[in-house]
Amino acid sequence: MSEECGEVKLIDEQGLRTDGRKPDEIRKTIMKVGVLKNADGSSYLEQGRNKILVAVYGPEELHPKHLALPDKALLQCRYHMLTFSTDERRSPAPSRRDIELSKVIKSALEPAILLEKFPMTTIRVLVEVIQSDGGTRCAGITAASIALANAGIPMRDLVVACAAGKVDGQYIVDLNADEDKLGEADLVVAIMPQRKLVTLIQMDGSLTLDEFKKVFELAKKGCYELYNIQRKALLEHYEKVAKEVSQDDISK
């Protein structure tokens, strides 16, 4: 936790983090679905200073054909950070990290989608990070899951992801960029909340078994809080229309 310029304190004397949150508090999160007209499904997510836009296309015909799978659809995910998403300009070309995170997001979503319903086809998930502040893979998975539901793609359950970790000897949930970089360890967990299944688990740093259990429980708690926001966003999208229609009827 020490840098050349001196000690960086990520948790102050009052037990608050750099952005004023308590250790077990997730960032303020806003989710919306159906934000893009041209995509089959879409979503927008703001988690703290993270801003993420997801578009879903498919199931559709797959080109080149030799990639097609005879028994299920091929899930293609692309995670991409826009050039202005970070402090310094990023190259628009996919980096090694982008390619890795695309694969990670695919692995997290795959168990939830009923791919076997659409053999020989493809489903494309495009995750664009507009502004990044740590935890974009989790935010990408969470946003992609509601975009898939919005596209009408059959799923076993929604998928929600959240990170937890150890910073200054304390266990914290939903790490921001500084905590991610300077913390002792972080654990990314993606779950299917209704089925109670884990679809992704990824760890950086080192934790004892006891610490791992505590951090895992904290990440799971964060996932369930985000799941409630996911549900609210999806239900609001459809119930909004019902409210508008009933208001039209009243005004007549």
Q: How far is the CB of 144 from other proteins (least distance, A)?
A: 13
CA–CA separation, 186 and 121 (whole Å): 36
Nearer to other proteins, 29 or 176 (CB): 29
Rg of the chain over all Cα atoms, to the nearest angstrom: 19
Exposure of 206 by Cβ count < 10 A (0-12 exposed, 13-18 middle, 19+ buried)?
exposed
Nearer to other proteins, 155 or 203 (CB): 155
Strand partners, 97: none
Q: How far is the CB of 152 from other proteins (least distance, A)?
A: 3
Nearer to other proteins, 226 or 234 (CB): 234
Residues 6+ apart with CB under 8 A from 107: 199, 200
Q: How far is the CB of 29 from other proteins (least distance, A)?
A: 17
For other proteins, the binding residues (CB under 8 A) are: 40-41, 58-61, 73, 112, 114, 117-118, 120-121, 149-158, 192-195, 231, 234-235, 238-239, 241-242, 245-246, 249
Q: How far is the CB of 42 from other proteins (least distance, A)?
A: 12
Nearer to other proteins, 60 or 100 (CB): 60
Exposure of 81 by Cβ count < 10 A (0-12 exposed, 13-18 middle, 19+ buried)?
buried
Strand partners, 189: 162, 201
Q: How far is the CB of 182 from other proteins (least distance, A)?
A: 36
Nearer to other proteins, 40 or 186 (CB): 40
Q: How far is the CB of 199 from other proteins (least distance, A)?
A: 13
Q: How many Cα atoms are found within 13 Å in the side-chain-facing hemisphere of 67?
A: 11
Nearer to other proteins, 97 or 117 (CB): 117
Dihedral-angle region of residue 4 (phi above 0 means left; psi in -120 to 50 means alpha; beta otherwise): alpha
